[in-house]
Copies of this chain bind each other. A is one copy, B any other.
């Protein structure tokens, strides 16, 4: 049976929610990672992904500048990196300089891959659109990478940025 409730009550049922780390270089060439839960695949042919980024976030500037971004699926053992990248602002700090997280250059876009992620998708910005307090960036996937070791994705498993395996 359904009962009408406040949105914030109903949305508590969403967990586990996927986590990605999106990376884009700013105008100074600094790669800036941000942890996001609001993301989806949006096209199969060609493969495309979308991410929703809060309008106040520095990543808006970086993606708008570089017109490309990496979408990485962090692995279960990357919870601390995901929390760090999601709680600091690239306006104030160089997140990759402050938190030890292996990266390597992307091959088709001017961004970096996360070496220990489950997978990385190199996206060229196709379009962007407004949605309330977020901007949706839609990217065409131009190159894909996967971990050479078997790894599982990281999820948000409960309120308060509680991260862990989905199962």
Where the two chains meet, the residues of A that have a C-beta atom closer than 8 Å to any C-beta of B are 1-7, 9-11, 13-18, 37-48, 50, 52, 73, 104, 107, 113, 115, 117-121, 126-127, 129-134, 136, 138, 140-141, 143-149, 151, 153, 155, 166-167
Contacts and interface: CB of A to CB of B under 8 A. Distances in A.
- The count of identical subunits is 2
A162 to B, nearest CB: 13
Q: Is the interface of A mostly helix, strand, loop or mixed?
A: strand
Nearest to A75: B13
A141 B18 CA distance: 21
Contacts of A48: 131-132
A41 B53 CA distance: 11
Contacts of A73: 13-14
A18 B156 CA distance: 12
Residue of A7, A118, A127, A130 with most chain B CB atoms under a 10 A cut-off: A7
